[in-house]
Structure 1
């Protein structure tokens, strides 16, 4: 039995375009019309290739974590706890206030801007955030240079709170230079 028509679009390019729409508008703010227009496909093609909107978002979220948000996993490889935290905070500024990306964070926006009908999407974004914080906690447990006033779990939660705040401020229009200054002040407050 023949398998149907071959795709007339590049799935990776379509996912990148969907990522930008979700990142810019949030899950609920991204309409199917916005998504299909950006992706250059029609609704039946979207459903056939990516599933429904929720399934598409799951694929986009994974792409975000492996792509633009990948700085967070890479930061965990830094040799010291301070360098890990520096890379995370500076990476948050670069990602959320970048010149060529939507401002804010896909995960943060999805956690805060989803209503009851998007509960699964919200839970997925929360799970991603919790997993990132847990990975940071485990990495900080190995560090020998933490300030004595912080337990690894507390410091991990604090760094995630700072990063989330940076994302919210970026989405609200604060400039990249202002956010860099804020990030540097946060680093001094954590380690000095």
Structure 2
């Protein structure tokens, strides 16, 4: 009875991630998860604890393997480059896979029942951490003169995240890459410019 875990945990996690990405946390049933992973429910429990823990592990993997463009964006030379890297990366990722459009994190945050509240909070916290990192990067840009002193760095970070999250919802609704790219460029068209950026252009 103790030999349930005769499967590749990473492969099972990848398969579960795809199910959650397509259906969201609440929409993914245990039947969906066992069929996708090829692992029976007792073995999934043994390896991952329960559905909530499986989702949390899948979310961590998603951020590591699919949202790697976000930390890379923070290393871009200007605040506009940072925002562009995030929004263009969002447009690409959200439309990369025809069978799972949109964003796992955004769909997970839409979980609605009381049972799913811990999952929703976990996703919201992860998104808040990303927004905080973005705000800190914009504050540095402001200190360097890349953003004007009048810029509200917290609002700018929230704005970029709001556009990215909206793009994820629109991708799920059927928007294609070209339209999402156009949305990204529209958002970037009014980006505030500081003295350093102006002198650099001249």
Structure 1 length-normalised TM: 0.93
Residue 190 (1) aligns with residue 188 (2): no
Residue number in structure 1 paired with 2:39: 41
Equivalent-residue separation in structure 1 for 2:140 and 2:99 (angstroms): 33
**What secondary structure is seen at the aligned counterpart in 1 of 2:76?**
coil
Distance 1:180 1:124, change over 3 A: same
Structure 1 position 101, deviation (Å): 6.0
- The question of whether the paired residues in 2 share the 8 Å contact of 1:75 and 1:87 is answered with yes
Equivalent-residue separation in structure 1 for 2:102 and 2:148 (angstroms): 29
Distance 1:6 1:113, change over 3 A: closer
Equivalent-residue separation in structure 1 for 2:20 and 2:181 (angstroms): 25
Residue number in structure 2 paired with 1:178: 179
Residue number in structure 1 paired with 2:119: 121
Task: Spell out the pairing of 1:1-192 with structure 2 (5 A cutoff).
Answer: 4-5=2-3, 7-99=5-97, 102-143=100-141, 144=144, 145-147=146-148, 149-191=150-192
Distance 1:138 1:101, change over 3 A: farther
- The question of whether the paired residues in 1 share the 8 Å contact of 2:5 and 2:46 is answered with no
- The question of whether the paired residues in 2 share the 8 Å contact of 1:104 and 1:170 is answered with yes
The unaligned stretches of length 5 or more in structure 1 are none
Larger radius of gyration, structure 1 or 2?
Answer: 2
Distance 1:40 1:182, change over 3 A: same
Equivalent-residue separation in structure 2 for 1:191 and 1:99 (angstroms): 33
Structure 1 position 114, deviation (Å): 2.8
Structure 1 position 182, deviation (Å): 1.1
Structure 1 position 49, deviation (Å): 0.5
- The question of whether the paired residues in 1 share the 8 Å contact of 2:24 and 2:111 is answered with yes
Runs of 4+ in 1 over 4 A off after TM superposition: none
Structure 2 length-normalised TM: 0.88
Distance 1:6 1:25, change over 3 A: closer
Structure 1 position 86, deviation (Å): 0.6
Structure 1 position 165, deviation (Å): 0.7
